[in-house]
Amino acid sequence: MSMSIDSIIARLGGPEATASLTGVGTEAIRKWRQAQAIPARHWPVIAQAAGLSLEDLRPASTMTDRHSPATGSSKTGTSMPDARPDGATAALVLADGSVFWGKGFGAFTPAQSAAENAGQSMGEICFSTSMTGYQETLTDPSFAGQIITFTFPHIGNVGTNAEDDEAARVFARGLVVKEDVTAPANWRATEGLDAWLKERGVTGIAGVDTRALTLRIRDGGPQTAILLFPQDGRIDPEAATSTARAWPGLEGMDLAQDVTCSAPYQWTQSVWEWPHATRPVPEKRRRVVAVDFGAKRNILRCLVAAGCDVTVVPATTSGEEILALKPEGVFLSNGPGDPAATARYAVPAIRAVLEAGVPLFGICLGHQLLALTLGAKTYKMEQGHRGANQPVKDLASGRVEITSQNHGFAVDADTLPEDARVTHVSLFDGSNEGIASDRYAAFSVQYHPEASPGPSDSFYLFERFTALIDRTAGAHN
């Protein structure tokens, strides 16, 4: 192949234009990039549109990058023993054949022969630009099915503590860091990151050139990766590459059912506020049902701090069951996976809430599900937004907020109905960050106003929700 897959796709106008030209989905384009090959049946139309010959599209012999943890450089080779650097105990293997060597920490992965266990260390590779809050990130249910690369080099230096967990367990499939994890130096730390991960069965790899890896993700889009840290030390990158290429990816996956609560429960804790234990709770309280698609604990704290009595219910709760709780407002939480897959059971419930006239507020996956209920579409992003430094513009006020985000899918604003409007946009790429309905008492945002980690610029949205509840109640009286 005389040109790279990425160059060919760029010449055709990008992934979406390529998908439209060939009559496939953007997920297929992602898999072409993983395999570094285009199926032969598409060669004629691509060659004609890109001004190439059929020979230009024929794959060359496969060559594999081997990235050294010691230097961050790469060399080409086909023999794993020659490519493995001295001292390397772990490897991150991507579906495109790239191998990043490093030092493993946390839990060992099963031996590669234990194929039934491969899934626990395999997922979509992504990157987060957050400089702090790694514990909150790792326990965020929205990261289910993903291996996280932290672009900030020093991860683990403040240790861990029980108070900073955003859920009862770690949902990320693994983590990738630049520098070795050192002993914690923080007065709140009760345990080091290495031991904390080991107890939770999660694997990490250090010594990786995270800048090179991040650029690969940025330029090539999301792809499957496998993190290998076997106790016997035997690592077969070629076999891991084949396994990674067979994984279907997050598109089409409903992961909300894997992370949701099993039964309804009450949440009463408010936001922590130094030097007090928690922020005082307003005297006026509104009955709010929070649908748990993978809710972070700090979201629930923010709802309480804004004046809500919160009942959390499982993701699959029907509209009839939600309305039977007589809520004054309904909240749709964040969560992992493809919103179009979760919509199968979520959209009917949300539609019932809207038709009943109950005010509704959604965050992240909840935002996408509201959009789908209103008739819009969602799509898989090329890189996604993950980090605590994402600028968003409020179109009504013109105010710019620095936000915390974690999403790989987005709402297609062009598909919104006439009675819904865009309220917020990303200043990174112009993608949709918020909507509001003119027909229903409902609004949502793509980003995380609760932060944890991140800035608190957007807490006003929780107060906007309670104000909407009060206005709706007043109109009915």
- The CA distance from 398 to 258, in Å, is 38
pLDDT band at 2; cut points 50, 70, 90: low
Residue 334, marked binder = no
Residue 227, marked binder = no
CB 101 within 8 A of CB 67: yes
CB 164 within 8 A of CB 190: no
Say which residues have a Cβ less than 8 Å from residue 329's Cβ, sequence separation at least 6.
286, 287, 288, 289, 308, 358, 359, 360, 361, 465, 466, 468, 469
Query: Which residue matches tokens 């179009």?
Result: 340
pTM: 0.82
Residue 365, marked binder = yes
What per-residue confidence (pLDDT) applies to 63? Answer: 32
Summarize pLDDT for 425-438 with one digit per residue, the tens.
999 999 999 999 99
Where in 157-283 does DSSP place strands (E)?
Answer: 174-176, 203-206, 223-228, 265-267
Mean pLDDT score of the chain: 89
Q: What residues are annotated to the active site?
A: 364, 448, 450
Q: Which domains, and CATH codes, for the chain?
A: 5-57 (1.10.260.40), 64-246 (3.50.30.20), 256-476 (3.40.50.880)
Summarize pLDDT for 148-192 with one digit per residue, the tens.
999 999 999 999 999 999 999 999 999 999 999 999 999 999 999
Residue 300, marked binder = no
Q: Which residues pair with 75 in a beta bridge?
A: 66
What per-residue confidence (pLDDT) applies to 119? Answer: 53
pLDDT band at 75; cut points 50, 70, 90: very low
- The CA distance from 51 to 45, in Å, is 10
